[in-house]
Structure 1
Amino acid sequence: MVQNKEPEPEPRIYGCTRTVSSVLTHFICIAFSLCITFLSGPGSSLFSWHPFFMTLAFSFFMTEAILVFSPHGSLIKCFPHKFKVRVHWILQGLCVSCAALGVAAIFYNKHLNGKAHFTSWHGLLGLVTVCVVVLQSLLALPLIYHSLAKGWSLAKLKRYHAASGIVTYLLGCVSLLLGLCSTWFTSSVSGYTWYLSALCPAISSLIIMNQVTRAYMARKRFQS
């Protein structure tokens, strides 16, 4: 009979590095959201609500929803796991709501101005991303109501939810990057400001992807 081995403690510098990375991600998602809010001026026009809501959805709420489970950077890491799950669901619900409002704003704005819908890569990928995040949230319901997924173990559902969550988050980050290439944003900023803005979703996606993959790889090693 093979016994489970206790995982070897990792060097302290690794934990410090991940803590710094998580803190950096908090700072990035807040700073980037505030920057887009300042540039868009929500309420100044119908279009202004689109970048505001979409950035709030994918740069702030979705990032913070994932960081809730970070062992190094969660703002509520001292609370029970059940409480973290509830906060995660609330933040994801806000993400979906903001994403839906962002799509509605740009759709109605184009309708009023007689412009074609979803003609750019940003528009097409943005629509796909919103549909995916709604679908991903609905498919996560069995994690709370396990009776909805007969024949599926809770551990397997969590793995699929984490994998689909990473794909959804990456889609959101790419959509934000494409949005930074739009005429509205490139006419609002110039020079190094654009590159600094583009680094925000790029860095966040790398840190978040590393957090989720390491969490499930570590769990797999522990169970093997």
Structure 2
Amino acid sequence: MVHSKETEPEHRFYGFTRTVSASLTHLICIVFTVFITVLSRPGSSLFSWHPFLMTLAFSLFMTEAILLFSPHGSPIKSLPHKTKGRVHWILQCICVSCAVLGLAAIFYNKHLNDKPHFTSWHGFLGLITVCVVGLQSLAAVPLIFHSLAKGWSLAKLKRYHAACGLVTYLLGSVSLLLGLCSAWFAASVSGYTWYLSALCPALTALVMMNQVTTAYMAKKRFQS
């Protein structure tokens, strides 16, 4: 009993910090998406759809899809886990749709301007990321319809999905960071704005890593 009383403040502090970090992540991904939207002005050119849709996909929808399972930051944490899974999959499908459209926009824009495709690290990794996120969403179908995964336990499927999902999210974050190194973004911002922009996908990636590793890979920190 004494042990539990001693660890109670630690439990509260841990829960408070996790709640704050999750809330800040919601705010960061929204602010970053709005900032890129204002900067790119979607519809002003064919190219403008690329940064807008890619940021929408990997900064907003994918982040929010993972945060649905956060015990401290989920906007629907009171709903059953099965419902969260369905909403997560829907958000991921929207993410894939935005990513594919964003990829199509830059591909067609380069075609019209007679420029080579996927010659930069940003373009090459972006293509890989879009393919991986599409496969990841398809691989999640057995989690919704478990009868399709014969011989696999639901717990094992969730662990594999979480690990692969984290890798996918990190790929998306690196792709966004490389996009901030592009000539378009460098010409659009200056000074500390670039560093603040780069902090957004970097910080959200750290929060997502902590959430996934805590939930599926690390031992529970508070066990008596």
TM-score (norm 2): 0.93
Q: What residue in structure 2 maps to residue 23 of structure 1?
A: 23
Q: 1:219 to 1:144 in 2, by over 3 A?
A: farther
Q: What residue in structure 1 maps to residue 202 of structure 2?
A: 202
Give the C-alpha shift of residue 140 in structure 1: 1.1
Amino acid at match of 1:153: S
Which ranges in structure 1 are unaligned for 5 or more consecutive residues?
1-7
- Structure 2 distance, partners of 1:221, 1:22, is 18
Give the C-alpha shift of residue 98 in structure 1: 0.2
Give the C-alpha shift of residue 217 in structure 1: 3.9
- Structure 1 distance, partners of 2:190, 2:46, is 24
Partner SS state of residue 44, structure 2: coil
Identity of aligned residues (%): 78
For the aligned residue pairs, the C-alpha RMSD in angstroms reads: 1.5
Q: 1:218 to 1:182 in 2, by over 3 A?
A: closer
Give the C-alpha shift of residue 87 in structure 1: 1.1
Q: What residue in structure 2 maps to residue 86 of structure 1?
A: 86
Amino acid at match of 1:144: I
Q: Where do 1:135-214 residues align within 5 Å?
A: 135-214=135-214
Give the C-alpha shift of residue 11 in structure 1: 2.3
Partner SS state of residue 181, structure 1: coil
Give the C-alpha shift of residue 147 in structure 1: 2.1
Amino acid at match of 1:177: L
Give the C-alpha shift of residue 78 in structure 1: 1.3
Partner SS state of residue 195, structure 2: helix
After TM superposition, the structure 1 stretch with the greater mean CA deviation from structure 2, 191-200 or 135-144, is 135-144
The superposition leaves residues 185-221 of structure 1 with CA deviations (integer Å, 9 ceiling, x where unpaired) of 0000000000000000000000011011101246778
- Structure 1 distance, partners of 2:141, 2:132, is 15
- Structure 2 distance, partners of 1:145, 1:138, is 12
Q: What residue in structure 2 maps to residue 216 of structure 1?
A: 216
After TM superposition, the structure 1 stretch with the greater mean CA deviation from structure 2, 178-187 or 143-152, is 143-152
Maintained 8 Å contact 2:21/2:207: yes
- How many pairs are equivalent? 215
Give the C-alpha shift of residue 117 in structure 1: 0.3
Maintained 8 Å contact 2:85/2:144: no
Maintained 8 Å contact 2:33/2:60: yes
Amino acid at match of 2:72: H
